[in-house]
């Protein structure tokens, strides 16, 4: 989408900064800055706004060869309205947009070009329209058929669809998901009625249902990952095997399948995009072959960069910048 950021209440007018936004594109940029090869597959309008989206992604070294230009629909729009120092209202204009008209054949072409190691989806795209929902479901099935690891960030947007609508879709998706990322209040959307109310119990219910790993974003409290307990004889490289090789932690429970990572303390500037930045860091470490502890550490680090910087993706670090948060206050890098 094109993103417009106001300086105050929209009804009062004023100036706006123009950029782009979108959970998937935020993650794509974050991964590209960390040195990974990333391809963004989506739809934009055949308009100047769409050109801005594609130009920005290309400038960030994201491959957009799989993007589709829809001449019959405009590029989506999002408005950010800072209303209080710690409260921002978001207004979506995505009904009838090019992104809402994404079709399954776009995914067929993308997988025919190159099969990805990881497919990252969010719960935002299926909320846009039945067409976009079908395309997202098709992507899951293609990934399953090609042995691609599927990462799903729930990212529930109440302004786009109701909780019961989201839950019906997400529950159907769970058999295809390897890595589920969600905030604690989003986990119930992935489970049937009558499921446990405790976060840990919910995560374990999802593991029992087939998800390989559940990572819960906890904002300023950090993040916790739940993985299947180590099984003797588990194949090398499996989630369970990787987790079992980590040093014991006080945060791990008796089953050895929960690991917590505190957040990195920074001066908060803008919390928008922090969750996507966390996902980018987490997936980066996963692609590097890191265990759960390394994934969490990089995730909270990239998330902290987002919180300490204005914008959705602008503050995403490069690999060389990952250690900057440990510098003393007032440090000048010369």
Active-site pick, 70, 257, 276, 312: 276
* Cα three-residue angle 118-301-305, rounded to 5 degrees: 105
Q: What is the DSSP letter of 225?
A: E
86 is catalytic: no
- Please, is 279 exposed, middle or buried when counting C-beta atoms within 10 Å of its C-beta (0-12, 13-18, 19+)? buried
Give residue 240's Cα distance to chain centre.
Answer: 23
* 158's tokens: 């109440």
13: left (phi over 0), alpha (psi -120 to 50) or beta: left
**Please, which residues have CB within 8 angstroms of residue 281's CB and are 6 or more apart in sequence?**
30, 34, 295, 298, 299, 300, 301, 302, 303
* Cα three-residue angle 290-295-297, rounded to 5 degrees: 120
Residue pair 73/96 in contact (Cβ under 8 Å)? The answer is: yes
- Please, is 51 exposed, middle or buried when counting C-beta atoms within 10 Å of its C-beta (0-12, 13-18, 19+)? middle
Helix (H) or strand (E) holding 179: strand 179-183
Q: Which residues are catalytic?
A: 276
């Amino acid at each position: 989408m094109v993103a417009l950021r106001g300086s105050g209440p929209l009804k009062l007018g004023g100036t706006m900064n123009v950029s782009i936004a979108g959970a998937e594109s935020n993650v794509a940029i974050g991964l590209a800055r960390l040195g990974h090869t990333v391809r963004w597959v989506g739809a934009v309008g055949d308009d100047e706004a769409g050109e801005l989206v594609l130009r920005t992604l290309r400038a960030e070294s994201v491959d957009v060869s799989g993007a589709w230009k829809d001449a019959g629909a405009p590029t989506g729009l999002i408005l950010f309205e800072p209303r209080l120092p710690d409260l921002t209202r978001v207004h979506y204009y995505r009904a009838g947009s090019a992104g809402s008209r994404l079709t399954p054949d776009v995914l067929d072409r993308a997988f025919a070009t190159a099969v990805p190691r990881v497919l990252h989806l969010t719960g935002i795209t299926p909320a846009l329209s039945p067409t976009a929902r079908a395309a997202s479901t098709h992507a899951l099935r293609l990934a399953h058929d090609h042995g691609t690891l599927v990462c799903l960030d729930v990212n529930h947007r109440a302004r786009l669809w109701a909780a019961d609508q989201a839950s019906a879709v997400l529950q159907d998706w769970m058999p295809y998901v390897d890595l589920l990322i969600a905030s604690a209040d989003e986990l119930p959307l992935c489970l049937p009625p009558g499921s446990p109310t405790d976060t840990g119990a919910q995560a374990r219910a999802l593991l029992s249902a087939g998800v390989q790993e559940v990572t819960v974003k906890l904002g300023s409290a950090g993040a916790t990952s739940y993985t299947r307990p180590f099984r003797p004889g588990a194949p090398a490289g499996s989630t369970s095997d990787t987790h079992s090789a980590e040093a014991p932690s006080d945060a791990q429970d008796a089953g050895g399948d929960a690991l917590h990572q505190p957040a990195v303390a920074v001066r908060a500037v803008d919390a928008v995009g922090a969750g996507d930045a966390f996902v980018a860091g987490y997936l980066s470490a996963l692609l590097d072959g890191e265990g759960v502890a390394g994934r969490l550490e990089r995730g909270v680090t990239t998330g902290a960069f987002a919180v300490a910087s204005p914008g959705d993706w602008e503050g995403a670090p490069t690999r060389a910048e990952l250690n900057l948060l440990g510098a003393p206050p007032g440090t000048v890098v010369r």
